[in-house]
Structure 1
Amino acid sequence: MPTPPVFLPPTSYDYLTVQKVTGAESSAASDVVAAEEPLEIRLGFGPAHQREHRTLAITMRTPGHDMELTAGFLLTEGIIRSRADLTGIRYCPDVEKEEERENVVRAELAESLDVSLPRLERHFYTSSSCGVCGKTSIDAVHAAACPVLPTTGPYVAAEVIHALPARQRAAQALFEQTGGLHAAALFSPEGALLLLREDVGRHNALDKVIGAALLQEWLPLHNTVLLVSGRASFELVQKAAVAGIPVLAAVGAPSSLAVRAATDFGMTLCGFVRQQRYNIYCGAWRIQTEAGNMPGK
């Protein structure tokens, strides 16, 4: 079987100007982040004289190969069983917002295919990892969180951000045993560990942290710093914002949508926090990179 061509459209990545921190010094630098956008999957099904159209799911993805993603999703979720069940996939031409037209696809199913509506409803809204349940439109994704984060801090020293990964790892009892778990850890602005949870899914780990804080009546978490293992996705930024967390640091890279969301929410977002280095993607004013020097907003 021939190897399919590798095609990465321009929307697969974004170039950003970031604050690159090494030790106690910072400087402006350019960085490339993977794009993340919601893809709404709509279905057309039923006989020609009684055709129905409805949204099946929204998945967060890096743009590119959207038709393949849709076809694979339909097959693995049991909506279709063979290529014959699928008559076509295309971007929806009737999407009102021009900038979202390549974020909505319609898959047309064969007229003879028996589609169970209750089964379809169970698939409403998924994501590349765990999902943000209950959203059935792209507008709902963007409007899912409208937090009010503090505008007077907290202020965090650069060396505190540098120290977080080691402190998180030292507290990961299950990771030391399995080597295969994500973690979300909540710290004070001074770097004291407040709460840590582990899970095979990074979204689950963060949900556990937020749930524990909720049950202890700590919310909103305005005076905290969150460190997550792996990358920083839109869903993680959204969850942190809902809980009132003003500073989110990630061991891995943020996606473009995560950066845009964090910027809109007024959050400080740091990525690649490891080996005494990290990038500040937005909200640099909360990070003290030199003694007595706070970057401007």
Structure 2
Amino acid sequence: MNSARLPVTRWPAGETGTADSTDNLAIEEPMEIRVSGRSVAVTMRTPGHDRELAAGFLLTEGLIRQASDVLDILMCRDLPEGQTGNVVDALLAPDVAVDFARLTRHVFSSSSCGLCGKATIDAVAHNFLPAASGPQFTPAFLATLPGRLRAAQPGFAATGGLHASALFNSAGELLCLREDVGRHNALDKVLGWALLESRLPLRDTVLLVSGRVSFELVQKTLAAGLPLIAGIGAPSTLAVECARRGNLTLVGFLRAERFNVYCGAERVRGA
């Protein structure tokens, strides 16, 4: 359940004036992420796939690199009333040295911006490996992805208030799609799924996000070893700079009939 119906007064409502009704809204609740009992972050998210969200967060913050680094991710049960289901604790393998100083996110992060609470650009620029060379994708292939993304977004269809991130393989098959009020949370859920399924690095897949492409989304893409990130919206200058440094292909304004390649055009045949 990622939405709830709430009362709403609609305007205009014709000759009779306003009309009392209900509207479907995306759910937003806080989730605390712990590592071995130690709180490391609180993020505002849409409930669902919380283990994946925690795994993806730890991956993109540089605390873990692979599925074997995680023994389990547990939903904490013995909590005060109202908190149950909103606290997860990641238990890491004994040989994983946790450098809590790597965490550059403040204790609280809003759903709208993963960079809120980050101290400086130097603090957020994690040293992830550049994307490997290849593979290539045709413009016709890329043009099919927005329609497939939209068709697989039930939460957005119901509420109009959820971002989405999706992984597609080189044949255009949808591997994983997650929705969330926070675009960085949606991507963390997808990458957490890939990590827990031991699919990293994602060298032969394409990532599509439903909105704009920010610097942090590019950083997260590099953490998973993806070769290409595409957005329905525009990228930022810092996102393009980060993608170029990381040998990543960045596509913006992706539509069925057109798109822009901002860097890494060698992966788009015919670009």
**TM-score with structure 1 length normalisation?**
0.53
Q: Any idea what the Cα deviations from partners look like across 1:237-279, whole Å, max 9, x if unmatched?
A: 0001101111000000000000000000000000000141100
* Number of residue pairs aligned between Structure 1 and Structure 2: 168
Q: What does residue range 107-256 of structure 1 map to in structure 2 within 5 Å?
A: 123=106, 129-132=112-115, 135-142=118-125, 144-151=126-133, 153-256=134-237
What's the CA shift for 1:139? Answer: 1.8
CA RMSD between the two structures: 2.3
Opposite residue 189 of structure 1, the aligned amino acid is: S
Mark the structure with the bigger radius of gyration: 1
In structure 1, list runs of 5 or more residues that go unmatched: 1-120, 290-294
What's the CA shift for 1:126? Answer: 5.8
SS at match of 1:238: helix
What's the CA shift for 1:173? Answer: 1.7
SS at match of 1:227: strand
Opposite residue 281 of structure 1, the aligned amino acid is: Y
Q: What does residue range 52-71 of structure 1 map to in structure 2 within 5 Å?
A: none
SS at match of 1:277: coil
What's the CA shift for 1:150? Answer: 1.2
Q: Which residue of 1 aligns with 2:91?
A: none
Q: Specify which of 234, 242, 248 is matched with residue 267 of structure 1.
A: 248
CA distance in 2: counterparts of 1:127 and 1:138, whole angstroms:
18
CA distance in 1: counterparts of 2:105 and 2:216, whole angstroms:
20
Q: Specify which of 228, 239, 264 is matched with residue 283 of structure 1.
A: 264
State whether residues 206 and 227 of structure 2, in contact with CA within 8 Å, keep that contact through their aligned partners in structure 1. Answer: yes
SS at match of 1:288: coil
CA distance in 2: counterparts of 1:148 and 1:256, whole angstroms:
18
State whether residues 226 and 248 of structure 1, in contact with CA within 8 Å, keep that contact through their aligned partners in structure 2. Answer: yes
CA distance in 2: counterparts of 1:122 and 1:192, whole angstroms:
34
Q: Which residue of 1 aligns with 2:17?
A: none
Q: Any idea what the Cα deviations from partners look like across 1:186-205, whole Å, max 9, x if unmatched?
A: 00122111110001111110
State whether residues 124 and 136 of structure 1, in contact with CA within 8 Å, keep that contact through their aligned partners in structure 2. Answer: no
What's the CA shift for 1:182? Answer: 0.7
SS at match of 1:274: coil
CA distance in 2: counterparts of 1:122 and 1:266, whole angstroms:
25
**TM-score with structure 2 length normalisation?**
0.58
CA distance in 2: counterparts of 1:156 and 1:123, whole angstroms:
38
Q: Any idea what the Cα deviations from partners look like across 1:109-162, whole Å, max 9, x if unmatched?
A: xxxxxxxxxxxx9957868933258854432223x13223111x1110111111
State whether residues 247 and 269 of structure 1, in contact with CA within 8 Å, keep that contact through their aligned partners in structure 2. Answer: yes
Q: Any idea what the Cα deviations from partners look like across 1:164-189, whole Å, max 9, x if unmatched?
A: 00001111122221121110000012
State whether residues 196 and 209 of structure 1, in contact with CA within 8 Å, keep that contact through their aligned partners in structure 2. Answer: yes
CA distance in 1: counterparts of 2:232 and 2:105, whole angstroms:
33
Q: Any idea what the Cα deviations from partners look like across 1:81-115, whole Å, max 9, x if unmatched?
A: xxxxxxxxxxxxxxxxxxxxxxxxxxxxxxxxxxx
State whether residues 269 and 281 of structure 1, in contact with CA within 8 Å, keep that contact through their aligned partners in structure 2. Answer: yes
